[in-house]
Amino acid sequence: MEKHQFQGHWNQLKGKIKETWGKLTDEDLVRLSGKRDELIGKLQTLYGQNKEKIDMQLKEIENGFYSDELRSHWSDLQAKLKQKWSALTEDDIQRIKGNGKQLVHQLQERYHFNKAKAEEEFHNFIESLSTMGKEKVGSSHGSHGKHHKS
């Protein structure tokens, strides 16, 4: 998740972050307010874990957020997925069923992306929905161009 995306979703993420790392105080969360690098530093201090482990755990939380977004709008998003990634088949769409991990897997298979690239594509797709506004998710406005393999 990009820094600006992390900050933009701070309110949704901080509950899960507090649940995962209970030593963080509410005061810490207010002070850190979406500052990912500072959060990692604070968690290293509190828990003695290395940066890579904390970063991996944060990515799991972020992926969970994006998967929740995908699941909650699944019925409206199926056509948009096909529009964005035309190589996805109807069987792929049925296999995904709103599951972010499955979408990442299908993007890896169909477009030969590595996992990091597939996750980035998934996150950017969900972010594009946020910029359109949730009320337009199911409408025909704000369509995306077809994805071209790079």
The DSSP code sequence of 65-85 is HHHHHHHHTHHHHHHHHHHH-
Residue 135: the pLDDT is 43
Domain count, the chain: 2
Domain range spanning residue 97? 74-136
Same domain, 9 and 57: yes
- Beta carbons within 8 Å of 145's beta carbon, 6+ residues apart: none
Please indicate, yes or no, if residue 143 is contained in any of the structural domains. Answer: no
* Burial class of 11 by CB neighbour count within 10 A (0 to 12, 13 to 18, 19+): exposed
Residue 109: the pLDDT is 97
Identify the residue with better confidence: 34 or 130: 34
Same domain, 51 and 78: no
**Among the three residues 12, 40, 63, which one is the final residue of a domain in this structure?**
63
- Cβ-based neighbour number of residue 132 at 10 Å: 16
- Cβ-based neighbour number of residue 74 at 10 Å: 15
Same domain, 127 and 106: yes
Distance, in Å, from the CA atom of 107 to the CA atom of 110, rounded to the nearest integer, reads 5
Please indicate, yes or no, if residue 150 is contained in any of the structural domains. Answer: no
Same domain, 12 and 56: yes
Residue 4: the pLDDT is 63
Extract the tokens encoding 35: 């500052």
Please indicate, yes or no, if residue 147 is contained in any of the structural domains. Answer: no
Is residue 150 predicted with pLDDT exceeding 80? no
Confidence of residue 138 (pLDDT cuts 50, 70, 90): very low
**Among the three residues 39, 63, 87, which one is the final residue of a domain in this structure?**
63
